[in-house]
Amino acid sequence: VHHNEDKIDYVFKVVVIGDSAVGKTQVLSRFAKNEFCFDSKSTIGVEFQTRTVSIQSKVIKAQIWDTAGQERYRAVTSAYYRGALGAMLVYDITKRQTFDHVARWVEELRAHADSSIVIMLIGNKADLVDSRAVPTEDAVEFAERQGLFFSETSALSGHNVESAFLKLLEEIFNMVS
């Protein structure tokens, strides 16, 4: 569905964060373009991608920002978080360390983003079932304690990517409307 630019009711800025190589860029491309790129990046260049969706007859343009590799240098700046209404906090279900760092990313959000930011915790690479290192229950428990939404996704297959973004956008919509 293509929407006319001048009929956009809301623009929601969403940031994607998490450790390097967890699949942030691929999750974003899956949602924005329904693409998965096998030999991707190094992410230098594109700062954000957009996709327009309808929620309750309103036209919402999601402007979704990628760190562009800044997280490698611990250099994600407060400008990145400015104006963000939502965050996708991604870890890799096959790399325990990327989940252990999620608490740090939540602290980073609490420090730099708006206090009402809606956060969706994403366990990505759910297609790699034989390499799982993070039990789903660990993430469910963490998310409940921290007041985050949670989903496991595969950017590769597309599993749950759409529903996770739509859930986040709906929650933002409910907050602002």
Residues that bind ligand GDP (CB under 6 A): 20-26, 38, 40-41, 43, 124-125, 127-128, 154-156
Nearer Cβ to ligand GDP (59/94): 94
d(CA 13, CA 85): 6
In the bound state with ligand GDP, the residue whose beta carbon lies nearer, of 25 and 151, is 25
Give me the least distance between CB of 17 and ligand GDP, in Å please: 9
Minimum gap (Å) between residue 39 Cβ and ligand GDP: 8
Residue 59 or 68: which CB sits closer to ligand GDP? 68
E strands present in the chain: 10-17, 48-55, 58-65, 86-92, 118-124, 149-152
Q: How far apart are CA 26 and CA 37, in angstroms?
A: 7
CB 21, min distance to ligand GDP, A: 4
Pick between residue 93 and residue 113 the one whose CB is nearest to ligand GDP. Answer: 93
Minimum distance between the CB of residue 131 and ligand GDP, rounded to whole angstroms?
9
Both tokens of 177, joined, read 């409307």
Q: Which residue is nearest to ligand GDP (CB)?
A: 23
- Of 40 and 136, which CB lies nearer to ligand GDP in the complex structure? 40
Which of 168, 29, 15, 34 has its CA nearest to residue 87?
Answer: 15
Question: Which strand ranges, in their side-by-side order, compose the sheet holding 58-65?
Answer: 48-55, 58-65, 10-17, 86-92, 118-124, 149-152
Least distance from ligand GDP to the Cβ atom of residue 177, Å? 31
- What is the rounded CA–CA span in Å between residue 159 and residue 46? 24
Contacts of 48 (CB under 8 A, 6+ apart): 63, 64, 65, 66
